[in-house]
Amino acid sequence: MAGCGDGATPGPAARSFGGILLGVIGALLALPIAAGLQMMVQELRVEMPGDNSDDRLADARDAKTEATYERMSAGATAPEAGQIARNLAQKNRTADAVDAVGVSVD
């Protein structure tokens, strides 16, 4: 289930479902109720076996990439900052592929 922090919202489906069940009042109440339920599920979620969301190596690499982006994009225009972000993302994807395969790509 998508979390509230990742941009997913329970919008149209919740309003349609609430509207079908309880009419206009249901449509108005469905969105806050669905958002509240979504937050509760996210907070109470139990980590499943194999979930590597607590990957310290990846967290450290992400922090380093963010710091590099901040340093490189300081004073850059929006298109330049976008290109910097694209280059850093490509570099990370290449590093991930190398880690997965175990072979150096030059």
Whether 39 and 62 share a structural domain: no
Residues 21, 25, 28, 34, CA torsion sign: negative
Q: Is residue 50 part of a domain?
A: no
Domain assignment of residue 95, given as a range: 56-100
Within-domain flag for 105:
no
Same structural domain, 61 and 96: yes
* Tokens at 103, concatenated: 């072979």
Question: How many domains does the chain divide into?
Answer: 2
pLDDT tens series, the chain, 106 aa = 444 444 455 566 665 656 566 677 776 677 777 788 888 877 887 666 665 566 677 778 888 999 999 999 899 899 898 999 999 999 988 887 877 776 554 5
Tell me, yes or no, whether 68 and 95 share the same domain: yes
pTM of the model: 0.44
d(CA 95, CA 106): 11
Q: Is residue 49 part of a domain?
A: no
pLDDT at residue number 86: 93
Question: How high is the pLDDT of residue 4?
Answer: 43
Query: 67 and 93: one domain?
Result: yes
Residue 14 lies in a domain: yes
Does residue 87 sit within a domain?
A: yes
Q: At what angle do helices 56-73 and 78-101 cross, to 10 degrees?
A: 150
